[in-house]
Copies of this chain bind each other. A is one copy, B any other.
């Protein structure tokens, strides 16, 4: 009934951050055990009231939740921008193919270069520009242009310029009305905004002072935790350290994973590959698909 069922998700390992934090978790738990052993061996008590310690824990939790939230917002913004790339690519192609020249060469090139834009965005955001990394582009724009792309200063800007060249050609040969052009150009401008938005997210991590600070607090907090609770918790010290450390370390790691939504090395990276291939497929199909005339008087 629900996504994969409650119990499935509880025990699912795939897609979890647990493996990433396992080492640290064991480390802190072991440290808790050592502290307990020391207190036991030398018969120590520290008489620490844990109330204020908890208070620090609340501040820390608030910070972690805040950072996770900020990370999620970045991730969702990135997804929105890629949604925009899909929308504007679809619309730009449709405007050109419906309102533009009927010349099949032009139509072919146009659809290919619109499709090429999202493909170059995808490669560019993953840092791939060498010819062998972007080889698949050959299927879209041919080998010669793929070589040029691999040497361009900025691949997506090169692709979108090609679209502009084609629009200009169509306008100046009188095959694309200037009013139609206005619409196409405004969609083209939004594509430039979208790739810029992705690059902003890619190149600007969370303010570093902010994120370093959180990790240092987390470390200090988990180091002092066994000392603070050993009197009251006794033998259960390592267990409690484990139960407290697990969500905190996991939250910290999730914040990190969400930070770069484009890198394949992150757990929740967006399926750029798949999205841009879908766009290509659709656009390629839309060149061929010539719809028949419309029956004006569609009687129900």
Bound state CA distance, A1 and B19, in angstroms? 12
Question: Quick check: which of A35-43, A119-127, A181-189 contacts chain B, the rest being far away?
Answer: A181-189
B296 and A189 contact, CB distance less than 8 A: no
Taking CB atoms, residues of chain B closer than 8 Å to A139 are 300
Please name the residue on chain B nearest to A258 by beta carbon. Answer: B207
Of residues 116 to 157 in A, which have CB atoms within 8 Å of B's CB atoms? 138-142, 144-145, 148, 153-154, 157
Known: A3-B259, A9-B215. A207 touches B72 (CB 8 A): yes
What are 9 A-to-B residue pairs whose CB atoms are below 8 Å? A52-B243, A56-B247, A60-B247, A61-B62, A63-B251, A87-B196, A94-B192, A166-B294, A224-B243
* A contacts, CB < 8 Å to B: 1-3, 6, 9-10, 12, 15-18, 20, 24, 46-66, 68-70, 72, 75, 79-80, 83-84, 86-87, 90-91, 94-95, 98-99, 105-106, 108-109, 112-113, 138-142, 144-145, 148, 153-154, 157-158, 160-162, 164-166, 168, 171, 177-183, 185-187, 189, 192-193, 196-197, 199-200, 204-205, 207-213, 215-220, 224, 229, 232-234, 236, 240, 243-244, 246-248, 250-254, 256-259, 265, 267-268, 282, 285-286, 289, 291, 294-300
Interchain CB contact under 8 A, A153 and B234 = no
Instruction: Take A15-B208, A54-B55, A59-B61 as given contacts and tell me if A298 and B220 are in contact as well, using a CB distance cutoff of 8 Å.
Output: no
Contact B154 A282 (CB under 8 A): yes
Write the nearest CB–CB distance from A169 to chain B, whole angstroms: 8
Chain B nearest Cβ from A2, distance in angstroms: 5
Number of copies: 5
Whether A80 and B178, one on each chain, are in contact in the complex, defined by CB atoms closer than 8 angstroms, is no
Q: Chain A: interface secondary structure? A: helix
**Is the beta-carbon distance between A10 and B216 smaller than 8 angstroms?**
yes
Residues of B within 8 Å of A215, CB to CB, are: 6, 9-10
Contact yes or no, A50 B51, CB < 8 A: yes
Chain B's closest residue to A189 (CB) is B91
6 smallest A-B Cβ distances: which pairs?
A87-B196, A105-B296, A83-B200, A142-B298, A49-B232, A207-B268
Question: Can you name the residue of chain B whose Cβ is closest to the Cβ of A211?
Answer: B9
Count chain B CB atoms within 10 A of each CB in A168, A180, A296 and give the residue with the most.
A296
How many angstroms from the CA of A145 to the CA of B87 in the assembled complex? 24
The answer to whether B60 touches A57 (Cβ under 8 A) is no
B138 touches A300 (CB 8 A): yes
A20 contacts B1, C-beta separation under 8 Å: yes
* Of B15, B193, B299, the contact of A142 (CB 8 Å cutoff): B299
For A108, give the chain B residue with the smallest CB separation.
B297
B-side contacts of A219, CB under 8 Å: 10
Complex contacts, A53 vs chain B, CB 8 Å: 240, 243
Known: A112-B298, A181-B179, A220-B243. A90 touches B157 (CB 8 A): yes
